[in-house]
Amino acid sequence: MGTILVEQDGRERAVEFNGRRIRVDKLLLQMGIYPETAVVVRNGELLCDDELLTDGDKVEVVVATSRG
């Protein structure tokens, strides 16, 4: 079992997943977020959907919103 610390909208939460690593897109889906609508940043670096996160990583998730 692994854990990623996720910051979103100024709040932090721990997201658990099976295994030691998880792809960015799988993490977003597990959080109920469509990967096409969000970006994930780790250590100031924008991550691609197929990049791997490991247990203990801290990331920021920014979800795009549209107001019309």
Prediction pTM value: 0.90
Task: Give the burial class of 6: count Cβ atoms within 10 A of its Cβ; 0-12 exposed, 13-18 middle, 19 or more buried.
Answer: buried
Tokens 């889906």: give the residue. 29
Can you give the residue ranges of every domain in the chain? 2-63
pLDDT of residue 49: 97
Tokens 């801290």: give the residue. 58
Taking all residues of the chain, what is their mean pLDDT, rounded to a whole number?
96
Rg of the chain in Å (alpha carbons): 11
Could you tell me the CATH superfamily of domain 2-63? Answer: Beta-grasp domain (3.10.20.30)
20 — pLDDT class (breaks 50, 70, 90): very high
